[in-house]
Amino acid sequence: MTKRSGTEKINDWLEKKWVAPSFAGWVLGGIAVCFFGAATNTMAGWLYVLSGVIFAILGLGAVIPRRSLKQLQVLRVPIEPVSAGEQLMIELEIENPTSKPKTLLHVKDYIPSVLSEPITTAIETIPPYSKYNWVCYPTAKKRGIYRWHELELRTGTPLGVFWCSRKREIPIRAIVYPQVLILSNCPLIDSIGEEDNIKMQSDRLYLAATEGITKTLRQYRFGDPTRLIHWRSSARFGDLKVRELEIVTGGEEVVICLDSAPSWEEEKFEQAVIAAASLYFYASRAQLNVKLWTARTGLVHGNRVVLETLADVFSGEDNPQATLPSLPLVWLTQNPSTLDTLPPGSRWLLFPESNQPVVNPNLRGLVIDAQESLQMQLQKPL
């Protein structure tokens, strides 16, 4: 970071607290002083007039920018959540409620450095009684809940001889969900309950079924398997119709547990969060009663709540009052010593710190290799 000189610091302080002269302002000021000095020596009236006109221009240039910024109204539009790797839509509404146009405006939004560098734009003019919508699309590279509030307005209107900048406190929040991997199958989830020989028909069987008791016909939705399309009814109504089959479920409960209490390696913890989100939504699509557990929040459920929890989770968030459910779990951890303490019937995903083999004959799980595709590993047989 370049060290700023004393002159730059003074100029910056003047600009934020009052107004700061630009290069043109300094030149005009110097000319006005020279004309005034010459007029004093020669007693020439026209030199007094010239110096007075220039001083008047400088006076207007110092007063108008402050007044122009004070009258502007700025509103932030709420930001829709996105997943990591997608673009955020950050939108500002800058309103000019006066009868005069606002010109030469510079806007800087101090968004968190994790998302992007501060974003700037220049606005030539905002007509009277109108709004200017500014939209930018920074890419959200990392999950998280980001909050910021600083916005800077800067102007040199009308002549650019003085600059004035003011910061506005307008809080906003952006939620970046973890990436959710689409799994066509997941033996880790599918095998839960096999120890008790519970036979149940769930959404996984429903998606693979081609015959059974038809409950009703409904309109085709994106993602429905083509094998369930009722072609006769579709031809009759001129629209794709899908059969809904009767489903018998045993109310099986699945708890995805992220061992967020201890400290993790950052890269592996991010992989674990992605895996937790992917397993949760796979189990949800399979019509299982699925919940998420973290050390800080305990048990949560519901798609939006789970995504926000995983967006905000971090390693080392120990909560002494948090206790694991006494149900079969899907345990995501970096510590192999915790596997022996899991309830019977549990499954595990281990993100080891080294390539040491893990042997646990009582429970079934997967050791995740950071060099391989996480999506492919989650679909591997146990």
- Give the integer Cα–Cα distance in Å for 118 and 151: 10
Where do the domains of the chain lie? 6-67, 70-177, 187-191+250-378, 203-245
| pLDDT mean over 293-317 | 92
User: What distance, in Å, lies between the first and last C-alpha atoms of the chain?
Assistant: 51
Sign for the pseudo-dihedral over CA of 294, 300, 306, 311: negative
| pLDDT mean over 120-141 | 93
- Give the integer Cα–Cα distance in Å for 96 and 30: 35
- Give the integer Cα–Cα distance in Å for 88 and 81: 8
* CATH class name, domain 70-177: mainly beta
Range with the poorest average pLDDT among 23-32, 119-128, 200-209, 233-242:
200-209
CB atoms within 10 A of CB 217: 14
215-248 pLDDT, tens per residue? 577 777 766 677 777 777 777 777 787 776 544 4
Give the pLDDT of residue 198.
41
173-201 pLDDT, tens per residue? 999 999 999 988 888 888 876 655 444 44
Give the pLDDT of residue 144.
94
At 293, the pLDDT band (50, 70, 90 cuts) reads very high
Q: Which two tokens stand for residue 35?
A: 């004309």
The rounded Cα 215 to chain-centroid distance in angstroms is 41
The whole-model pTM stands at 0.75
Give the phi and the psi of residue 66 in degrees, each rounded to 5: -60, -45
